[in-house]
Structure 1
Amino acid sequence: MDISSGWDLVVLGSGPAGEAAAMQAAKGGLRVAVIDRREQLGGNCTHWGTIPSKALRHQVRQVIRSQRNPLLRGLINPRQVRWQDLIQRSGEVVDSQVQVRGDFYIRNRVRVFAGRGEIQSPGEVRVDDDAGRQWLLRTRHILIATGSRPYHPEDVDFDHPRIYDSDTLLRMNHTPRHILVYGAGVIGCEYTSIFTGLGMRVDLINSRQHLLDFLDTEISDALSYHLREQGATIRHSEQYSKLVADDDGVTLELQSGKRLRADALLWSNGRSGNTQNIGLENIGLEANSRGQLAVDERYQTAVEGVYAVGDVVGWPSLASASYDQGRFCAAGIVDGGPVKQVTDVPTGIYTIPGISSVGRTEQELTEARVPYEVGQAFFKNLARAQITGERVGMLKLLFHRDTLEVLGIHCFGYQAMEIVHVGQAVMRQPSPNNTINYFIDTTFNYPTMAEAYRVAAINGVNRVRR
């Protein structure tokens, strides 16, 4: 075993949280090592999650747009697009990201160990690679950023070639005509819109009464409507009782007595933190039932000098937030000062159309008895949306009736994930610069989707001044 001493920080995982922490610590003058079980960097986000799924979505959107364009209609038949071809193109994007991420480590002189990392003590981490080599890294600090994986109930056979999760779906070698999606969270809704865009018949099984009930109700209702319009069948308040797969497909039996038959099934009912087999028992740490670790305001676990960020600490389990958690945690390790917290995280849901929001919902404001008003801009009325043919969607501003302070921004439709950041920047300004007057008094390029802010703000002010 090769013993390597003198490390200031050893990071387990090279996803957004681990990478951001490593770069921040290295820039702060610390000697940093990163351990990842893959030789290719980027973590689950790059290889199995965010990057490949969003690359798939983009390609499917291009297919859908071709059907809406009178000049291109008929040139592409969505039902003839092969899943394998889409995966190949997504793989090219993943390869590009791996190259970019690898360059970060080289430029910042961060040492990477490819292998399985196991914590031996609060100051030691052992690495075992596939070639049988071992290293013992002695360090002042350890950061756990190992991400998450799809949750697998014990009574579902995920080894069967007709049953997939969001990871194994990227290895699916056929194109189903009919697919079941069990679990209507963010991942389930995103893949449902991808499947319907390819002309597949989809049954989306939701254990709750509404889709994504953390969203503003109007936005959630809009998503439900458009998924159904695209051909999905949504079944609310359903739980599975039995899942049987054979050579030709899968049969899903629900507790309500319904029996659904399809070519394949995507299980997307939650995720678990990757905290198994990393040596938590050696330092007296225990994860909860979902594999998540409790941390304090510095992202430190119950063991001094051992930190955790990203999906392994739970909410909000977004790549964007994980990146900031890693960066803020590392900054605290470098200077010993207060650690900035991740707040006002925008929601980005890459359905087709997309959804993004930041701030409070109508339900929250009503329950808190806050006097608010609504300003709306419907995309069908915007020149830019008419030019692109992306007429579905709306921008919704929630603001205080008296102070006009922006309280929430909710967007559904084309470029929603980009549009939301304009409003987010205004919300973060100190009073009185955080009001909808900013959108009224600011000149926006024309025609653009961002112009929706001016339209929505004027709509809202007109409601107040009646």
Structure 2
Amino acid sequence: MSKHYDIIIIGSGPAGQKAAVQAAKANKKVALVEADKVLGGACVHRGTIPSKTLRENALRIAGLRHHAELFSFSLRPDMEMAALIDNMHSVISAHDEYINNQIQRNKIERILGRASFVDKNTIDISMPGGATDQLTADYFVIATGSVPRQVDNIEVDHEYVYDSDSILSMMYLPQTLTVLGGGVIASEYASIFASLGVRVTMIDRYPRPLGFLDKALTDRFVHAFESEGARFIPNANVTRVYWDGVSQVITELEDGTIYRSEKLLSAAGRVSNIKGLNIENVGLALNDRGIIPVDRHCRTAIENIYAAGDVIGPPHWLLPLWSRAVVPVVRPWVWIWVK
């Protein structure tokens, strides 16, 4: 017999975590389903928390390097990356412990496994080791986040060509890095590695990065970025990316230009993570922007199923502003990199 809950949350990232806690505080019987053995989702383990930790430490190292001659010391590049990764894991571990304690304190049942909709009140759970279970609920919240968008002509191997999740697994600083894309993720990582002394080339098909910002801000960003010794290549269409089998990643552009680098980051944005969720079984589908459409209360087309977080795209109140390109600086890191 399947176990019944008032609310089942699928995904333990910021949206899922907060939905579960609020439901528990409203005296509901809550289950939190997570496919990873750790809580927090991509935000904690592969996205926001790691990248912001890396950014802050990169700024500290850049400051130390700037004053190295004054204090007569030097920083070994291999030690720099090792220290950055070690500190990043410490921050992630602390955040994971905090979330675990919060879930336990609020008596939320944690379920390790992959969820798949059977109908609007039922999900199957595939657990580690091959075991399965079935759960029912009055309400569901889909908070499964997003995954890096894959580009047809770019094969990500996570060793030479990375995406925005696997870039954090790089264990040493390359001398050169190519970043494809001009959005928030591309601009942030390009800036971080440039600040660490890596020669970065950022290539984008648009005339300027961060196109949702005012042109004066993006001009300042590009100026600060190139002041670090980096390059921004606008209006460029990438036709092919491949590792040469020896030591370099080759990026070929439509106009015949070739760029070479030790590593490459493909940052083509992110798409809703619904793999295996079988939302079509309840009559849901992604819209033309690749996200689950919801109303202003985050309710989907199915009355008892809600969705929140990256799986529904950026905050809805920002979309009209972005389209007019009059958004003020909405990401704190922009102030740091636009000097």
Residue in structure 1 matched with residue 251 of structure 2 by the alignment = 252
Q: 1:37 aligns with which of 30, 35, 38?
A: 35
Residue in structure 2 matched with residue 150 of structure 1 by the alignment = 148
- CA distance 1:39–1:302, shift in 2 (3 Å): same
Residue in structure 2 matched with residue 3 of structure 1 by the alignment = 2
- Equivalent pair of 2:174/2:262 in contact (CA under 8 Å): yes
- Equivalent pair of 1:194/1:352 in contact (CA under 8 Å): no
Residue in structure 2 matched with residue 101 of structure 1 by the alignment = 99
- Equivalent pair of 1:272/1:292 in contact (CA under 8 Å): yes
TM-score after normalising by structure 1: 0.67
The SS at the match of 2:193 is helix
Q: Which amino acid aligns with 1:350?
A: W
Residue in structure 1 matched with residue 81 of structure 2 by the alignment = 83
The SS at the match of 2:152 is coil
C-alpha deviations, 1:347-400, integer Å up to 9, x for none?
A: 11525824xxxxxxxxxxxxxxxxxxxxxxxxxxxxxxxxxxxxxxxxxxxxxx
> Partners of 2:283 and 2:28 in 1: how far apart?
27
Residue in structure 1 matched with residue 26 of structure 2 by the alignment = 28
> Partners of 2:329 and 2:14 in 1: how far apart?
16
Superposition deviation, residue 310 in structure 1: 0.9
The SS at the match of 2:241 is strand
Q: How does 1:347-426 map to 2 (within 5 A)?
A: 347-350=330-333, 353-354=336-337, 412-413=338-339
Residue in structure 1 matched with residue 131 of structure 2 by the alignment = 133
- Equivalent pair of 1:9/1:32 in contact (CA under 8 Å): yes
- Equivalent pair of 2:123/2:134 in contact (CA under 8 Å): yes
Q: 2:44 aligns with which of 43, 46, 50?
A: 46
- Equivalent pair of 2:247/2:262 in contact (CA under 8 Å): yes
> Partners of 1:225 and 1:73 in 2: how far apart?
29
> Partners of 1:76 and 1:351 in 2: how far apart?
28
- Equivalent pair of 2:40/2:99 in contact (CA under 8 Å): yes
Superposition deviation, residue 302 in structure 1: 1.2
> Partners of 2:14 and 2:205 in 1: how far apart?
30
Q: Which amino acid aligns with 2:240?
A: K
The SS at the match of 1:103 is helix
Q: Which amino acid aligns with 1:263?
A: E
C-alpha deviations, 1:300-322, integer Å up to 9, x for none?
A: 1111201111111112399xx9x
Superposition deviation, residue 160 in structure 1: 5.6
Q: How does 1:336-347 map to 2 (within 5 A)?
A: 347=330
Superposition deviation, residue 82 in structure 1: 4.2
Q: Which amino acid aligns with 2:293?
A: A
Structure 1: 5+ residue runs without aligned partners? Answer: 322-343, 355-411, 414-466
Quote the sequence identity (%): 32
> Partners of 1:150 and 1:58 in 2: how far apart?
23
C-alpha deviations, 1:257-291, integer Å up to 9, x for none?
A: 21101111000111111012102121121113554
- Equivalent pair of 1:81/1:198 in contact (CA under 8 Å): no
- CA distance 1:312–1:74, shift in 2 (3 Å): farther
- CA distance 1:229–1:317, shift in 2 (3 Å): farther
Q: How does 1:38-437 map to 2 (within 5 A)?
A: 38-69=36-67, 73-77=71-75, 79=77, 81-159=79-157, 161-245=159-243, 246-288=245-287, 291-316=290-315, 347-350=330-333, 353-354=336-337, 412-413=338-339
The SS at the match of 2:128 is coil
- Equivalent pair of 2:142/2:307 in contact (CA under 8 Å): yes
> Partners of 2:194 and 2:55 in 1: how far apart?
11
TM-score after normalising by structure 2: 0.91
Q: CA RMSD in A?
A: 2.3
Structure 2: 5+ residue runs without aligned partners? Answer: 319-326
The SS at the match of 2:251 is strand
- CA distance 1:243–1:271, shift in 2 (3 Å): same
Q: Which has the higher contact order (CA 8 A, sep 6+)?
A: 2
Greater mean deviation of Cα atoms: 215-224 or 25-34: 215-224
> Partners of 1:317 and 1:133 in 2: how far apart?
39
- CA distance 1:352–1:56, shift in 2 (3 Å): farther
